Structure formats: C-alpha cells, structure tokens
Amino acid sequence: MDDSQAIRLLREGDIAGLEVLVQRYQERAVHAAYLICLDVEMAQDAAQEAFLRVYRRSEQFELGRPFAPWFLRIVANETLMALRKRKRLLPLVGEAAETSLPDLSPSIEATLLTAESHAALRQALAMLSPKQRAAVVYRYYLGLSEAQMADLLGCPRGTVKRRLYDARQRLRQILSDCAGTIIW
C-alpha cells in the first residue's frame, strides 16, 4: 500500500491507513524531532502528535504529492511548538542544561570514537538556537532546498541563508576543538 492509498483509507475513517504511515515514517519522524529538541521523550511526543494531526487533517494533504516532506514539516512544527511551550514553563533553565548526554557504551575503541563524535555533535547542536537547529535539520537531514525552507518557514530566502550560515559558522567553531570527530 503506498502513501496515497493509506491517506485514502484515513479519509474513509479506516485507522489501518494511519498504522501504515506510522510504521513507515515513525523512525524518521522521531529522529528529525530529536535533532531539533535533543530530548527523546519530547521527540516521541512531537512525532506522535504529528501523526495525530495527519489523522485529523488528512483532507489537507494533496493526493499524488509526496507525503514525507509534508509530514516531516508537521513534525518539525510540532517540535518547535513543544520547545516554545517548555520554554514558557521553564524560563530560567538554560537550554544546554535541560538536555542530558546520550548513554555511551565504549566497549571497543572504534565504538568509543564514534560515540565521542556523536556526543560532540550533539553538544554542538545543543548550543544552537532551536530555529538554527531546525534549519540544520531541514537542510541537511530532510534535504530541503533553501527555497523549500523559505516556503516552510514563511520568511525570505535571504533569512534562510543567513540562518544556515550562522548555524554552520557556530558549529564549525564549536567542533574545531573536537579534532577529527565530525566531517562537515
């Protein structure tokens, strides 16, 4: 069953259509959300909320067009919204302090090196603003063009370029201390 067939089922009130989409896209959705919020629980909540929005608003999807970009934009919006809500609840907690480093299991040297790379990358991402992280995820993880990002974010293309440039510069600066860990 392809995505459009699943959406048709949804529109007919058949929840089996939603299950197909969940099984197909849940991992990518949670990963994209995690890269923006750096919080596993929040990422899973945001992805779940995004699927529920698809369920409620399946009629807004244009059949025949690719489902993934449309859906992953909803995931990103949900994540940014969740971050804004948390910021209102915890206004005095610094963003980097809110998140915890992933558990590492350095069983062999190679694994340790890889884990160190991921930890460094995660720490670097944590030092970006949520919008800068979203820009990085849109561009490099979801593979959107700058024009698509401008359309999604509702801002001029120049603003997108600037946000990406700032994010890249900041990441390069942060990662320059972690020699040989991440290749950009």
Binding residues vs other proteins (CB under 8 A): 13, 15, 18-19, 22-23, 26-27, 30-32, 34-35, 40, 43-44, 47-49, 51-52, 55-57, 59-60, 77, 81, 84-85, 102, 114-115, 117-118, 121-122, 136-137, 140-141, 143, 151, 154, 182-184
- Give the closest residue to 47 by CA, choosing from 65, 24, 13, 17: 24
- CA torsion sign for 35, 154, 149, 19 is positive
| Residue with smaller CB distance to other proteins, 4 or 26 | 26
Two structure tokens written together for 57? 């608003």
**Rounded to the nearest whole angstrom, what is the least distance from the CB of residue 32 to other proteins in the complex?**
8
3-state secondary structure of 93: coil
**Rounded to the nearest whole angstrom, what is the least distance from the CB of residue 24 to other proteins in the complex?**
11
| Alpha carbon distance 163, 165 (integer Å) | 5
**Rounded to the nearest whole angstrom, what is the least distance from the CB of residue 122 to other proteins in the complex?**
6
